[in-house]
Chain A
Amino acid sequence: MQFLSVIVLPLLAFMVAVLFLGLSRKITARIQRRYGPPLYQPVIDVVKLFTQEENISHGPVFDLGVMLALGGSVAIVLFIPVGGMLGLSSSGDLLVVIYLMLLPPLGMALAAGASANPNASIGVSRKLILALAYEVPFLLAILAVMIYGKTTSLMEATQSQQSSVLAWGLFRLPLSALATFLILPAMIGMRPFDMVTAPQEIASGPLVEFGGKYLAIASLQSALHLYIVIALFVNLFLGGGANAGTFLAKVLVVFVAVLLINAVYPRFRMDQGLRFCWKWPGLLALVGLIIAMVSRG
């Protein structure tokens, strides 16, 4: 069973991720009073990109970077338990997961840097700054979870919340949960924190040189990343799930909430984003961590 989950988890993640892409376009369209494309539109897009006649490459670093990005994301998925499916989560704890989450951006940054496009370089620098911005509250928040549960294991942190709804991280550590929710758009790269790929300013930043299969892999990777971040949030603060069904339902709810923010907000400037992340979510997470430390005794 556990061996099987190693194969099921990535497949599930891919399907959910692609579904989310479709859903996001539909919901955003509805909020903006448009009709929107059909749900399966991203599938068509990705298939079209994969079968494109011409692909343009800037060399080995460009190719390997893209592969590392997708490969890293697939690897992370294996360490995030979904309901009862544990995957490889007994081989790596939460610290491993947050460190593995460095691989995909590293791959993307390498690929982006292989070209001489100024927009790509600007995008990479923005991504790194944004990461520094949201990691401060994020690390404070997950430290609160780990301190509260006296464990660094993602599996145990999730299981300890499953006795009742009130045992959820959301109710035990409300400030940490709120802080993490506030930075979710930054982690995913959605508005108001989509400076990295800002299409109107820097022509999609790191993605600017990608076309054909490269763009297809990059969009699959970013969809997987979206799933990973939200799944992590659900595991840490919403009690995971008794089975895959309830887990995915919670993931969906969080996703729609983030999407609503995305649909109506404009974009922060870089330094505004940095200041916001450090000020409000940072402060909340800090207080949350102190509370977690005190209540742990």
Chain B
Amino acid sequence: MLVAVILSTAFLGALAVYFAGKLSPRVRNVLAVLVALTVAILTAFLYGHKAQVDYYTIGFLDVTLSLRTNPLAWFFAMAITGIGLCSIIFSLEYMKGKERLDFYYFAMLLVNASMLGIVFSGDLISLYIFWEVMSWSTYLVISYKGGKAAAAGLKYMIMSVVGSCAMLLAIVSLYAHYETIDISRLSTAMQSASAGYALFILLMCAIGFGVKNAIMPLHTWLPDAHSEAVSPFSAVLSGILVRMGVFGLLLIMYGVLTPRMLDKLGAGMLSFSYILCWVAAITIIIPTFTALLQDDSKRLVAWHTVGQGGYMIMGIAFGTTLGIAGGIFHVLNYGISVTLLFLVVGAVEHRTRGQRDLNQLGGLAKRMPLTFFAALCGICGFIGVPLTGSFVSKWLIYKTLIVEGYPFLAFAALIGTWGTILSVYKLLHNIFLGQLPEKYKDVKEVPFSMQLPMIVLSFAILLFGILPGIPLKAIGRIQSSLGLEPLQASLFAMPPEVGELNMVNILAAVAAGCAVAYLIFRLCRKSRRVPQSDTYAAGSYAPADKYQYSANFYERVYQVIEPYVRDRVDAFYYWVVEKSEGLFDGIRKVYTGNLNTYALYIILFLGLLAVLKLALR
């Protein structure tokens, strides 16, 4: 029952916020936060519940629509509501003074509500309906700014529709085969399915969910859409919305089909799982190195959204206990980090009059210390520096790939991390370190309501890094509920049969090392603070603001890798669009819109029939 309450709160709340905006902006803002908060708290209470309620029956099809909750749904719902709440709070100041705010908050809440609908769906029709609501409302928010954003939104929508069609095909076919769309009943029915049919369903769903999750080569909408949307929404979009694809894939691979079924789909090098792993590997490498070439801060983070998704798919497709746990855990860790980074970029944008070009920024660490700290946590979370959550999730994935004997997949994952280091460090360095340009001398730290979500998210990154057992326990429950072997991790360490990883000891080692360094540091004479510009320039004079030396940060790497990382897929799609436009243009010449021409066609056709008839006689 609680599920129904949560969903109605979320949807009705979104509407209420819209109308509250007509009364007064203040009421609307308070209500928006309140709705997001209530939904988050209610969702937290669902922990450990397992229930299914029917809510509607479609008479002529004889199908019952239902909502359900289980550990998998709870885990994703928590991530959705948490990230949603953070970005709503961030929006309050960020969006101040922008136009059509009632619509903005309505759409934001609607997106969150529809995502909750997806994870709580008990049948495929509900899932599809919520999925479409999500896609369309996302389109509305992406194109909110107009101009370039509208084009990005359109690109997103076209690719989403392709995905939806594939998904719909799978759902209709399942209904035709088994006469049910209830997910739990389907999973029993599918046990007797032939391998070919299972593969068809899986492929259709993989396309449907793959577009959302931006698996290569279905990723091209993402960099445009994420960089053109407003920052708090980019955070939601990147943090959790695209990961609905991972949710869907988990659901179809392990909730509907089973590992036993998956094993039947080909063998060795040509099995479905292995090929999907390689698709994931490519999804890790190419986008991560493409990110390295970006100069737009949001676009850089957006490319990582594609790249990091590869880790999740790889873990889940690999299908071992560690792999699945790592994949699901990475959804959470990555979601937190990327949300944080989009908020950071948004905060910088907010204070520098919309500056996103990394070659124009610099030295803001002293002006915006908290944002800098948040950015540091965010990039560490992206890289997976020890003591952040991503370290543990990536470790689980590497570990299982190596122990099972797949070094090249492991290499793809590892080298992706080093690509990540380069590109996200550029983000940190070019915004916060180095020379502070003259025009940003008076930049101030963002207001508290923007700081708060960043503080909370930074804390979460460190918390899940030091005590990974908290989320891993919930993930263990997901695994058992899907009928898989659960990962038994303690609060801060892996069991010995899994491997050597004890986060508290690692924390102790780093803390002790830093304590030693601090002691040495304090024993010496105190240092004198000098302004940033007081530097040693080897005899020459480094003029302030004359040149930006962090521009073209990785020029030497560009020279070597640039030919390999162009987005050829996008170019291909554009080629297809261009060619089909030509084709459609040709077809349009036939349909002139002139009645006389059509009459001529009819007469010609009749004449042809007459000739045929005569000839055949």
A interface residues, Cβ below 8 angstroms from B: 10, 50-61, 63, 66-75, 78-79, 88-93, 95-96, 99-100, 102-103, 106, 109-110, 112-122, 124-125, 128-129, 131-132, 135-136, 139-140, 143-144, 146-147, 150-153, 155, 203, 208-209, 212-214, 216-217, 270-271, 274-275, 278, 289, 292-293, 296
Could you pull out 26 A-B pairs where Cβ atoms are within 8 angstroms?
Answer: A50-B523, A51-B524, A55-B527, A59-B366, A59-B529, A70-B514, A72-B513, A74-B517, A91-B493, A100-B506, A102-B383, A116-B363, A117-B542, A118-B549, A125-B553, A128-B421, A129-B557, A131-B422, A136-B415, A139-B418, A146-B407, A152-B403, A153-B500, A203-B537, A208-B535, A208-B536
Report the separation of the CA atoms of residues A102 and B549 in the bound assembly, to the nearest whole angstrom: 24
Q: Are B501 and A274 in contact (CB under 8 A)?
A: no
B384: interface (CB < 8 Å): yes
Residues of B within 8 A of A58 (CB): 529-530, 532
Residues of A within 8 A of B403 (CB): 150-152
Interface secondary structure of A, over-half rule: helix
Q: Chain B 390-413 against A: per-residue CB contact (8 Å), 1 yes, 0 no?
A: 010001001100110101101100
Closest to B507 in A: A75
Q: Within the complex, which residue of B395, B532, B533, B542 is in contact with A95, where a contact is CB–CB below 8 Å?
A: B395
Residues of B within 8 A of A110 (CB): 376, 433
Report the separation of the CA atoms of residues A149 and B385 in the bound assembly, to the nearest whole angstrom: 25
Interface size grouping (class) on chain B: 35 or more
B359: interface (CB < 8 Å): no
Q: Which 5 A-B pairs have the closest CB atoms?
A: A113-B433, A71-B514, A74-B513, A55-B527, A91-B505
Closest to B550 in A: A121
Q: Within the complex, which residue of B385, B395, B429, B523 is in contact with A124, where a contact is CB–CB below 8 Å?
A: B429
Residues of A within 8 A of B516 (CB): 10, 70-71, 74
CB distance from A217 to the nearest CB of B (A): 7
B112: interface (CB < 8 Å): no
Closest to A289 in B: B407
Q: Within the complex, which residue of B411, B433, B536, B538 is in contact with A114, where a contact is CB–CB below 8 Å?
A: B433
Q: Chain B 411-453 against A: per-residue CB contact (8 Å), 1 yes, 0 no?
A: 1001100110110011001001111100000000000000000
Report the separation of the CA atoms of residues A144 and B405 in the bound assembly, to the nearest whole angstrom: 10
Report the separation of the CA atoms of residues A204 and B402 in the bound assembly, to the nearest whole angstrom: 39
Q: Are A144 and B418 in contact (CB under 8 A)?
A: no
Q: Are A139 and B520 in contact (CB under 8 A)?
A: no
Residues of B within 8 A of A289 (CB): 407-408, 411
Q: Are B402 and A147 in contact (CB under 8 A)?
A: yes
Q: Are B536 and A75 in contact (CB under 8 A)?
A: no
Q: Within the complex, which residue of B436, B535, B554 is in contact with A125, where a contact is CB–CB below 8 Å?
A: B554
Report the separation of the CA atoms of residues A271 and B559 in the bound assembly, to the nearest whole angstrom: 8
Q: Within the complex, which residue of B402, B515, B529 is in contact with A57, where a contact is CB–CB below 8 Å?
A: B529
Q: Are A217 and B517 in contact (CB under 8 A)?
A: yes
B502: interface (CB < 8 Å): yes
Report the separation of the CA atoms of residues A131 and B520 in the bound assembly, to the nearest whole angstrom: 28
Report the separation of the CA atoms of residues A153 and B502 in the bound assembly, to the nearest whole angstrom: 13
Residues of A within 8 A of B415 (CB): 135-136, 139
Q: Within the complex, which residue of A73, A91, A274 is in contact with B513, where a contact is CB–CB below 8 Å?
A: A73
Report the separation of the CA atoms of residues A224 and B408 in the bound assembly, to the nearest whole angstrom: 31
Report the separation of the CA atoms of residues A4 and B408 in the bound assembly, to the nearest whole angstrom: 39
Q: Are A75 and B500 in contact (CB under 8 A)?
A: no
Max chain B CB contacts within 10 Å: which of A115, A151, A216, A274? A115
Known contacts A56-B530, A102-B385, A271-B559, A139 near B411 by CB under 8 Å: yes
Known contacts A92-B505, A116-B532, A129-B554, A75 near B538 by CB under 8 Å: no
Report the separation of the CA atoms of residues A61 and B369 in the bound assembly, to the nearest whole angstrom: 9
Closest to A211 in B: B536
Q: Are B506 and A109 in contact (CB under 8 A)?
A: no
B525: interface (CB < 8 Å): yes
B45: interface (CB < 8 Å): no
Q: Within the complex, which residue of B421, B435, B549 is in contact with A131, where a contact is CB–CB below 8 Å?
A: B421
Q: Are B535 and A132 in contact (CB under 8 A)?
A: no
CB distance from B57 to the nearest CB of A (A): 52
CB distance from B464 to the nearest CB of A (A): 16
